[in-house]
Amino acid sequence: MISLYPYFAFAKKSFLGRSAYRFDHFMGILNTILRIFIFWEIYRALYGGRAEVDGVTITMVATNFILSLGLDSVFCVNDYYLPNRIQDGSIATEMLLPVNFHGRMLADNLGNALFQLLFHFVPAVAISVIFIGIAAPADPLMLILFFLSALFGYGVLWTISFVAQMLSFWLINVWSIMTIKNVFINVLSGSMIPLWFMPDWMSGIIRFTPFSSIYFTPVQIYLGQLSLSEILQGFLIQLFWIVFLFSAGMFLWKKGQKKLVVQGG
């Protein structure tokens, strides 16, 4: 029987471990607030005093930034968890431990994410709401569905990182892969440029990628832009990407392990 105790214990350790780096933590909050304010000022200038552009109000844009960048601070996945272990050879030690490696990786990231949610997302969003303002959730149900969708969004982001990390079995340096992945996430997830402003042909393409499921789907739910059937569709798309990417990652993990046990490294 699989015991979940080690994974809860690792999540707790990761959560408590974050509280040791207080200066780093405060600088992180400051960084998120600065990013939100910079984007806010840029878009305010672009709007040039108009209340809306193509049906998108400045409040919607601000809400998108505040929620996306707030979630971005929570969705911190350690992209080098596996690559570092492959590079220094300690992956072999991990393979000989009686715990599931990716379970441990997820637990470590979730503990970190929970800490970030409570002590980074909440203060950063509260300060931004006070000084910039944010649209209220469409209704309480939408707020609940927003958090559920955000959880799935985290799943999509984590599995993208999971697949990218698996490439380190075959690549000496995955830095460039991670950089490309992060550029795609920043641009195509709607956190830098809200997807409302994308040309139709591009938003059509983006809809077939996992990136819009990360931040944009939860934000749309929060703003009440999706009907219940569209929300259900959004959830299914998120779940599809989680299952698809996780399966792809597991396939690569098995291939990578086989490479290690057949070739010896």
Q: Which residues of the chain form contacts with other proteins (CB under 8 A)?
A: 3, 5-6, 9-10, 13, 88-90, 92-93, 95-100, 258, 260-262, 264
Both tokens of 155, joined, read: 């799943």
Nearer to other proteins, 95 or 141 (CB): 95
Nearer to other proteins, 13 or 255 (CB): 13
Closest approach of other proteins to the CB of residue 109, in Å: 15
Closest approach of other proteins to the CB of residue 157, in Å: 24
Closest approach of other proteins to the CB of residue 100, in Å: 8
Phi, psi at 251, each rounded to 5° = -60, -45
Closest approach of other proteins to the CB of residue 139, in Å: 42
In angstroms, the CA 164 to CA 119 distance is 28
Nearer to other proteins, 207 or 254 (CB): 254
Nearer to other proteins, 10 or 15 (CB): 10
Q: Which of 127, 142, 171, 149 is nearest to 30 (CA)?
A: 127
Nearer to other proteins, 1 or 130 (CB): 1
- Listed as own residue / partner, the contacts of 54-60 with beta carbons closer than 8 Å and 24 or more positions apart are 54/196, 54/197, 55/196, 56/194, 56/196, 56/197, 59/133, 59/134, 59/135, 60/135, 60/194, 60/196, 60/223
Nearer to other proteins, 236 or 261 (CB): 261
DSSP-assigned letter for residue 48 = T
Longest dimension (CA), the chain: 64
Per the CB < 8 A criterion, the answer to whether 72 and 215 are in contact is yes
Closest approach of other proteins to the CB of residue 17, in Å: 9
Closest approach of other proteins to the CB of residue 118, in Å: 23
